[in-house]
Amino acid sequence: MFESAEIGRSVDKATFKAEEASLREALLEVQYELKEKANFPVLILINGVEGAGKGETVKLLNEWMDPRLIQVNTFDAPTEEELARPPAWRYWRALPPKGQMGVFFGNWYSQMLRDRVHGNGKEAALDQAIDDAERLERMLCDEGTLIFKFWFHLSRKEMKKRFNALKDDPQRSWLLTPLDVQQSKSYGKYVRHAEHVLRHSSRDYAPWYVIDGFDHYYRSLAVGRILLEGLQAALERTGQEQNQSTPHTALVSSQDNRGLLDRLDLSQALEKHEYKKQLASEQARLSSLMRDKRMQRHTLIAAFEGNDAAGKGGAIRRVTGALDPRQYHIVPVAAPTEEERAQPYLWRFWRNIPARGKFTIFDRTWYGRVLVERVEGFCSEVEWLRAYNEINDFEEHLSNAGVILVKFWLAIDQDTQLQRFQARENIPFKRFKITEEDWRNREKWDDYANAVSDMVDRTSSEIAPWTLVEANDKRFARVKVLRTINDAIEAAFDKE
Amino acid sequence: MFESAEIGRSVDKATFKAEEASLREALLEVQYELKEKANFPVLILINGVEGAGKGETVKLLNEWMDPRLIQVNTFDAPTEEELARPPAWRYWRALPPKGQMGVFFGNWYSQMLRDRVHGNGKEAALDQAIDDAERLERMLCDEGTLIFKFWFHLSRKEMKKRFNALKDDPQRSWLLTPLDVQQSKSYGKYVRHAEHVLRHSSRDYAPWYVIDGFDHYYRSLAVGRILLEGLQAALERTGQEQNQSTPHTALVSSQDNRGLLDRLDLSQALEKHEYKKQLASEQARLSSLMRDKRMQRHTLIAAFEGNDAAGKGGAIRRVTGALDPRQYHIVPVAAPTEEERAQPYLWRFWRNIPARGKFTIFDRTWYGRVLVERVEGFCSEVEWLRAYNEINDFEEHLSNAGVILVKFWLAIDQDTQLQRFQARENIPFKRFKITEEDWRNREKWDDYANAVSDMVDRTSSEIAPWTLVEANDKRFARVKVLRTINDAIEAAFDKE
């Protein structure tokens, strides 16, 4: 791959100067058009061998364009807050919003190469990391992000020469990072693995551009032209169609699973005395598990979905009733804010992922896309169809990072819902719980039932299974919720 | 103060149960009204002696009300990201948005008492901390926040008794924090200093409520009633008038300082050759200073304001031109986002305070309130009048934390602005820089000049002086900006 790139390409100063002015002007134009339209973000990944001009190119882009609309991020040693969360969290929090450009100087590719070359990463781990990167990038592209991946290359001989020159130049030695120093000592190994990575991670929707770093002028013009053409094409596409990576297969609703919901025995109930006993015992168990030292190595996330009036709020209060308010955090999921709308769908859930040792309860969740958004038409069919995979990926990230994820669907039947709606309308301090919207949603009972079946069918994985909770009887539901959380924590402790 | 509180007050269970139901209902009502109106946030500070029911009360409030609208924050050992910024940063990032309630369980009061009782804090430091707290709370109240400060008290004898009981009860030992354990050993000292703090930090707009923690029922009803009454009164006030702490004195524009701007010698200029030489030399100096190890103990913030077309963007590019894009971050200040509008004015600047060792450039700044917002009437007179003090406080926080703050006003005269506006309209890739708004602003030249004079007069302090930059000649301005930054860094290094 690197051999096929024409090594040693160069451009003379006069040619550079002549093209630079117009290139610069054109880049500024597209940058402002991007800002004005603000319907997609641009992500520029910078990778390559040491001394090949990565830093200088980013610097030049900041000079050519308006640096106020470019955010440069580096990902050195993770901070304490980052270490306490899944590894991808640091990338999510740095994603540029729509209309802006983000430069990731060092990213998942430098991480996977560092692990493979200097760490303990094995070949299989590298392939897994490539796979993860593909899924992340595909998701970003599906959400509209325009991705450029640049690999700056240099021959071993040229690299050594530059490294030594830089080292001795106090004005420019900032261009060297500790990683660079390591790289210079393991060029062969590094380049071999990099070739493997690039070969397996270049996609139509996020191709690699290998830039020969030998000549400053050539390199700068090449990067500038690629960005300009890519941006112009993307801006032209905007409005015409969404930026789709690949077609998705249509979803056929599973009748079997619809049966699964229908087969729930909603008559299950607990009588009051038994309920009080079991509730107290499960609350004590949760309280004790949360104070267990092993909890410090995990994160607990409980995700609540369910029919309207199924008793999510009440169940959540029985869970938190066992705990110190300092231990948990409730995230009520409502309409996304302006800042959230400028980001990929899952961003607002990623931003709320708690640190290790903490417990977060999502009251309604990332499943909104395949439930209410699907049924009410708040997103396109393509969007909710691909959400299943995105959600599975998201939950895999959580699981890999030691997150104990418990997902509940609280199910009631139509008669029970009607009774509860009517009761809510009649009790003053419950009136806030019932709105016109609830009545409207109720009319779409079957559509929601189908959406739930598909959701359970496609997202109930071994690592993150759904728990269907028979909720016609609130007492039964509350105890089942608590017991399920406790069992999940114990199972995670046992697996250690 | 604590002696005067009636110690040992209690309520029997039947009375409690009878009132609890209606109190709970009423609290839910106001909580939902608060959420619906969403025009102010509620901040509840929880302090007091160990064992007096702080944790249990917060837990009860979460049970009584909708816990999804209450965020409980604890402030234990600061994280790495928090340690790298001014101490108040951690409080700012946790402030509840309008329409919600935030519980600060542990806060600036626990911090100052901890420092005084167990740390190295002296009496003067405590008084300084009380002062800082007052200014912070006054600002929050001015911005509409409703603050409740609860002190949970207990006699020494009762405290000891409870402490020992709790220690031995595995179900409830979570109520004890390491701080509590310390407190139990230094009750007398702790209470003496607490009394001093409470006496000097109770204000009309943010009074202390001393709650006798002896009886669970009494305590719970007392807190519930105080919250209910306070919230009801605040919701009633809403819309009628703004929540003003104290009247502010009117501002009389200073004619002297207007002279200060008029006396600037805008004819100062650099010829091209000299400019190139000086620019290169100052850029090299900045590049070297930023790489100095001493920079790791500081933070650099450069704040740019100036007339339209005064050349802020160009000056910023000359500053960043000296640097690795990984070293700096530019924050272009535009209209606040939805999340920012739900917070006090300065919140969006606090959230962008960089960590130690980093450099952030604000392109337009927190001075927007006393410049464009004042002149265009985007905020009330009361708001911009009190902004001067708020800004001075903010900058003092920065300065105390080792932030090197450099503030520029780039000044040009009206003729120069006209020429530049016309030139921008004629150069294609500069056309984005000129809008209708610029022409409109130009018509208010004198209003802006007055606002600038007042700003410089009121916010040019020893710790954060304004640098007026003669910017008719872009070259002169750019070199002066760079040199000022460099001098400021060196001065900070020298002071170490």
Q: How many angstroms separate the CA of residue B356 from the nearest CA in chain A?
A: 13
Which of B279, B324, B359, B431 best tests the A interface by mutation, with the highest count of A CBs <10 A?
Answer: B324
Q: Do B324 and A175 touch (CB under 8 A)?
A: yes
Tokens of B325: 């894009």
Q: Is residue A459 part of a domain?
A: yes
Nearest one of A64, A107, A150, A350 to B326, comparing CA atoms: A107
| pLDDT in single tens digits along all 496 residues of chain A | 676 555 567 889 999 999 999 999 999 999 999 999 999 999 999 999 888 899 999 999 999 998 889 999 999 889 889 999 999 999 999 999 999 999 999 899 999 998 998 877 788 999 999 999 999 999 999 999 999 999 999 888 888 887 777 777 766 666 666 666 666 678 889 999 999 999 999 988 899 999 999 899 999 999 999 999 999 999 998 756 554 444 455 555 555 556 778 889 999 999 999 999 999 999 999 999 999 999 999 999 999 999 999 999 999 999 999 898 888 999 999 889 999 999 999 999 999 999 999 999 999 999 999 999 999 999 999 999 999 999 999 999 999 999 999 999 999 999 999 999 998 888 766 666 778 888 888 899 999 999 999 999 999 988 899 999 999 999 999 999 999 999 999 999 999 8
Q: Virtual CA dihedral for B25, B27, B29, B35, nearest 10 degrees?
A: -150
Tokens of A435: 């709105």
Answer yes or no: is B8 within a domain: no
Q: Which residues of B touch A67 (CB under 8 A)?
A: 316-317, 320, 325, 330
Among residues A209, A237, A265, the one where a domain terminates is: A237
Q: Are residues A185 and A67 in the same domain?
A: yes
By C-alpha distance, the chain B residue nearest A61 is B325
* pTM of the shown model: 0.87
Record the tokens describing residue A353, joined without a space: 């992922």
B174 in a domain, yes or no? yes
Chain A CB contacts of B313 under 8 Å are 66, 68
Same domain, B75 and B210: yes
What distance in Å separates residue B338's CA from the closest CA in chain A? 6
Q: Which residues of A touch B352 (CB under 8 A)?
A: none
Which of A32, A67, A337 faces B432 most closely, judged by CB atoms? Answer: A32
State yes or no: ipTM above 0.90: no
Q: A337 and B332 in contact by Cβ < 8 A? A: no
User: Phi and psi (nearest 5°) for B348?
Assistant: -70, -15
CB contact under 8 A, A321 and B432: no
If you count residue pairs, one on A and one on B, with CB atoms under 8 Å apart, how many are there?
116
Note whether residue A244 is domain-resident.
no
A261 and A162 in a common domain: no
Residue contact A284–B171, C-beta within 8 A? yes
Q: Please give the Cα distance from B157 to B173 (Å, whole number).
A: 19
Q: Among all residues of chain A, which has the CA nearest to that of B62?
A: A325
From the list A25, A72, A324, the residue facing B174 with the nearest CB is A324
Whether B7 is covered by a domain: the verdict is no
pLDDT for position A170: 64
Of A58, A81, A325, the CB nearest to B325: A58
Q: What whole-number distance in Å separates Cα of residue A441 and Cα of residue A400?
A: 36
How far does B221 lie from chain A, in Å, by closest CA? Answer: 19
Write down the pLDDT at residue B256.
Answer: 56
Task: Please tell me which residue of chain B has the smallest CA distance to A64.
Answer: B317
Q: Are residues B294 and B221 in the same domain?
A: no
How many domains, in total, are found in chain A? 2
3-state class (DSSP) for residue A47:
strand
pLDDT of residue A92: 96
Are the Cβ atoms of B326 and A105 closer than 8 angstroms? Answer: yes
**According to the model, what pLDDT value does residue B260 have?**
78
Same domain, B370 and B295: yes
Taking CB atoms and an 8 Å cutoff, what residues of chain B touch A287? 171, 174
Q: What is the pLDDT of residues B24-82, one digit of tens each?
A: 999 999 999 999 999 999 999 999 988 889 999 999 999 999 888 999 999 988 988 89
Nearest by CB to B80, from A68, A79, A313: name it: A79
Are the beta carbons of A55 and B325 separated by less than 8 Å? yes
Same domain, A280 and A228: no
Instruction: Determine, yes or no, domain membership for B242.
Output: no
Q: Does A20 lie in the same domain as A93?
A: yes
- Write out chain A residues lying below 8 Å of B339, CB-based: 337-339
Residue of A56, A68, A319, A333 best to disrupt the B interface, most CBs of B under 10 A: A68
Domain with A153 in it: what CATH number?
Answer: 3.40.50.300
**CA distances (Å), B276 to each of A494, B470, B475, in order?**
68, 18, 9
Q: Are residues A381 and A466 in the same domain?
A: yes
- Asked if the structure places residue A6 within a domain, the reply is no
Q: In this complex, which of A55, A67, A313 lies closest to B330 when CB atoms are compared?
A: A67
DSSP assignment of A112-129: HHHHHHHSS--HHHHHHH
Please check whether residues A176 and A284 belong to one and the same domain. Answer: no
Same domain, B275 and B406: yes
User: What domain range includes position B154?
Assistant: 13-237
Name chain B contacts of A69, Cβ cutoff 8 Å. Answer: 332
Closest CA–CA distance from residue B328 to any residue of chain A (Å): 8
Going by the DSSP 8-state scheme, the letter that residue A353 receives in this structure is P
Instruction: Answer yes or no: do B59 and A324 touch at CB < 8 A.
Output: yes
Looking at the fold, whether A341 and A225 belong to one and the same domain comes out as no
Say if the Cβ atoms of A67 and B338 lie within 8 Å: no
Which of chain B's residues have a Cβ under 8 Å away from the Cβ of A321? Answer: 63
Please name every residue paired with A467 in a beta bridge, in sequence order, or none if there are none.
A408
Q: B429 and A326 in contact by Cβ < 8 A?
A: no
Query: Which amino acid is located at B255 in the chain?
Result: Q
* pLDDT score at B243: 47
Alpha helical stretches, state H, B427-496: 436-442, 445-459, 474-495
Contact in structure between A476 and A311 (CB atoms under 8 Å): no
Note whether A275 and A176 are same-domain residues: no
Chain A residues near residue B81 by CB distance under 8 angstroms? 79-81
A469 is a domain residue: yes
Q: Are A201 and A147 in contact (CB under 8 A)?
A: no
